[in-house]
Structure 1
Amino acid sequence: MHLNVQDLSVARGGIAVLEGLSFTVNPGQALILRGPNGIGKTTLLRSLAGLQPALNGEINAPNESIAYAAHSDGIKHVLTVRENLEFWADVFGTNDIAPALNAFELEPLANRPAGALSAGQKRRLGLARLLVTARPIWILDEPTVSLDIHAVEMFANAIRAHLVGGGIALIATHIDLGLEADILDITSFKAKPVAMKDDAMEGFL
C-alpha cells in the first residue's frame, strides 16, 4: 500500500490555501512536510486523513488505512493509561497493547488516570494510540509538542519500527527527528490570491 496524491488543492474556511500538490509515499518511507506557520500544513493533513474534503485532485489511499494524530492527545481523562489503550485497541480491532506501553515507557503509569498525567505523559499516551491501530499510514501533525528530548527519541524509534514493518509516515514538524526521510517544502504550492472583480468591490465603497 502507498499514499499517492495527484494535483491536490485544499482550502481553509472556503479559501484555497494550497494547490497543485502531487507526491507519492511508498511503504517503508517517511515524508516530512515543511513550510511556514499558516501555509496550510494542518489543512493538507486533515484532507489526507479524510476529515475535510479537498477542493480538487486525488488522494489514493483508503481512509481505513490511515491513522491520524493532531494537536489534541485524544485521550479520556477518567480512564487509566491502560484503559485508554484498551479502548482504542477495541475500536481498531486489535488486542495487544503491550508494544504501545513499552514503546513510550508507559508501563509504570499504566494504572494512573490519564487526567493525572503531565502534558508530556499525555502526549506519549496519545502517540502510543498509533501502535494499537494496526494501520499502515500514519499522518502526524506536530507530534512532538510537549515532549522532552528523551520522549522525542521514543517517538522517533516508534516511527523507525513502523517503517521497518512496511508502514508509511507523513509528518508535519519543524524539528529534526533524526529519521531517514524525504523533505517536502509546500511553500511553493501556496494558492494564488483570488482577484476580486471591480463590481464586487463596489458594495464596500
Structure 2
Amino acid sequence: MTLTVSDLTISRGGIPVLEGLNFSLEPGGALVLRGPNGVGKTTLLRTVAGLQPAVAGTVECDPESIAYAAHSDGLKGMLTVSENLHFWADIFGTKGIDAALKGFDLEGLVDRPASALSAGQKRRLGLARLLVTGRPIWILDEPTVSLDVASVEMFADAVRAHLAAGGSALIATHIDLGLEAEVFDVGPYRAKPENSTDAFSGSFDEGFL
C-alpha cells in the first residue's frame, strides 16, 4: 500500500502552516519528518491520517490502512495491560496479543492496571497497540517520548520488523532511531503569511529587535 501526498497545504486554527508538500511512502519504507517545534509536523501527520481536512492538495491512501499513534497513549487506566491490548485487537478485528507483549517487554505486566504503570511503561503499552492493528502504514508523532534508551531501541526494532514485513512508517522525531529512512525537512514548506508583504514583515519584525 503506497501513500502519496501531492501539493498539500495544511492549516492549524484556520491558518495555513505548511504548503506545497509532495512526498510518497512505499511499502517497506520509512520517512522521518524533521523541522523546528511548532512548524506543523503534528498537523501534517493528523492531516495525512485523515483526522483533519487539508486546505488544498491530496492524500492518496486507504484510511483503513493507517494506524496513528499520537502524543497521548490512549489507554484505559482501569483496564490491565492485557485487557487494553485485547480491547484494541477487538476494535481492529485482529487476534492475539502475544507479539505485542513480547515486542515491548510487557509480558511481566499483563495483569497490572494501566493506571499503575510508569510513564515509560504506559508509552510502551501505547506503542504496542500498533502491533495489534494489523495495518500496514504507521503514522507516528514523537513516539519515543518518555522512553529510556533501551525502550527506544525496542521501538526501533519493532519498526524494523514492520518494514521488513512490507509495512511502512511516517515518523516525526528528533531522535536518530538508526533506521534506514529518508529524511524530509518540512521547514522550507512553511506557508507564506496571508495579506502581507516582505516590506511589512520586515518593519514588523524590526519593532521587536
Q: If the TM-score is normalised by the length of the shorter chain, which range does it land in?
A: over 0.9
- What one-letter code is carried by the residue in structure 2 that aligns with 1:16? P
SS in 1 for 2:21: strand
Runs of 5+ unmatched residues, structure 2: 198-209
Deviation at 1:31, TM superposition (A): 0.3
RMSD of equivalent CA atoms: 0.9
> How far does the alpha carbon of each residue in 1:95-134 deviate from its partner, in whole angstroms, 9 at most, with x for none?
1100000000000001100000000000000000000000
CA distance in 2, matches of 1:16, 1:35: 16
SS in 2 for 1:5: strand
Number of the residue aligned with 2:148: 148
- Secondary structure at 2:100 match in 1: helix
The CA distance in 2 between the partners of 1:187 and 1:72, in whole Å, is 25
- Counterpart in the other structure of 2:70: 70
1:196 shift after superposition: 5.4
Normalising by structure 1, we get a TM-score of 0.95
Structure 1: which 4+ aligned runs deviate by more than 6 Å?
none
Deviations 1:117-163 (A, max 9, x none): 00000000000000000000000000000000000001000000000
Distance 1:168 1:57 in 2: 22
Question: Where in structure 2 are the equivalents of 1:76-87 lying within 5 Å?
Answer: 76-87=76-87
Q: Write the deviation string for residues 3-27 of structure 1: whole angstroms up to 9, x where unpaired.
A: 1000000000000000000001100
Distance 1:165 1:95 in 2: 18
Amino acid across the alignment from 2:184: L
Does residue 194 of the first structure (1) align with residue 185 of the second (2)? no
AA matched with 1:191? A
- In the alignment, what sits opposite 2:202? none
Q: 1:195: how far off?
A: 1.5
Tell me the amino acid that sits aligned with residue 194 of structure 1.
E
Give the SS at the match of 2:124. helix
Q: Which residue of 2 aligns with 1:167?
A: 167
Which secondary structure does the structure 2 equivalent of 1:160 belong to?
A: helix
**Structure 1 residue 29 and structure 2 residue 29: aligned?**
yes
Calculate percent identity across the aligned residue pairs: 69
SS of structure 1 residue aligned to 2:129? helix
- In 2: Cα distance, 1:196 partner to 1:34 partner: 27
- Amino acid aligned to 2:189: F
Distance 1:23 1:49 in 2: 14
Q: Distance in 2 between matches of 1:51 and 1:25?
A: 19
Match of 2:96 in 1: 96
- Give the match's secondary structure for 1:144: coil
* Aligned mates of 1:37, 1:78 — CA distance in 2: 33
- Point out the more displaced range, 188-197 or 92-101: 188-197
Q: Across the two proteins, how many residue pairs are aligned to each other?
A: 197
